[in-house]
């Protein structure tokens, strides 16, 4: 297949010729379990990016959020993410069923460093796992379980380059297309964008309410 870009690197040896070798300390930072400090970081995180791949290796990244600690660590090798209200495309879960691996990037607001976790992944409906989320959230239909193969801290440079947590560096939203405008264009909606914006906001309210536990 012809590459759509010029001067494409075609081998690992060729790639490595362009870069220096990583430092020994960088190589050593990858560990095979979640130590107490990594578990504390997960417990403080309200947002994680979930990477999965389908059977052909095509990748998908999905944002997942909840109350701080919504991802539960069972021990130093296992953690679980609840299935919260979504669009039911099930992209991540379908990928894991056919290609049982996942990559996680945990964020804590205000902290420039992140925690990366990679490992084998499983979709589970085990009642004991689902029970762990009752009271804090609605009881999920399923959870994503990850058996940790490696965990490591990712440095702050990318967040500092982007000024991610610095409001002074944030661009004006005036020139940024809204989700409603993009959705209308992508699926060919003929209704006014303002109507789509109202629909999205109403769907967020309903969906987030469905994540809360039933009233006692």
Query: How confident is the model over 105-121, as a mean pLDDT?
Result: 98
Percentage above 70 pLDDT, the chain:
99
216/41: higher pLDDT: 41
Q: Does the global pTM surpass 0.85?
A: yes
- Average of per-residue pLDDT values in the chain: 94
User: Which sign does the torsion angle of CA 116, 41, 204, 135 carry?
Assistant: positive
pLDDT in tens, 118-166: 999 999 999 999 999 988 788 999 999 999 999 999 999 999 999 999 9
Query: How confident is the model over 185-211, as a mean pLDDT?
Result: 94
Alpha carbon distance 216, 213 (integer Å): 9
């Amino acid at each position: 297949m012809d590459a759509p870009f010029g001067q494409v690197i075609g081998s690992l040896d060729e790639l490595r010729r362009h870069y220096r070798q990583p430092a020994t300390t960088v190589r050593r930072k990858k560990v095979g379990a979640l130590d107490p400090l990594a578990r504390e970081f997960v417990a403080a995180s309200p947002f994680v990016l979930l990477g999965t791949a389908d059977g052909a290796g095509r990748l998908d990244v999905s944002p997942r959020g909840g109350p701080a600690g919504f991802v539960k660590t069972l021990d130093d090798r296992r953690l679980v993410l609840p299935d919260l209200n979504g669009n039911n495309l099930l992209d991540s879960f379908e990928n894991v069923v056919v290609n049982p691996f996942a990559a996680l990037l945990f964020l804590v607001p205000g902290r420039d460093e992140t925690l990366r976790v990679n490992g084998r992944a499983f979709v589970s409906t085990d009642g004991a796992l689902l029970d762990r989320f009752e009271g804090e959230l609605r009881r999920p239909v399923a959870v994503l379980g990850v058996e940790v193969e490696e965990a490591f801290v990712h440095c702050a440079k990318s967040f500092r380059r982007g000024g991610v947590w610095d409001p002074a560096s944030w661009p004006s939203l005036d020139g940024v297309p809204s989700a409603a405008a993009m959705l209308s264009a992508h699926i060919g909606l003929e209704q006014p964008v303002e109507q789509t914006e109202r629909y999205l906001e109403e769907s967020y309210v309903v969906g987030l309410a469905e994540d809360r536990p039933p009233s006692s």
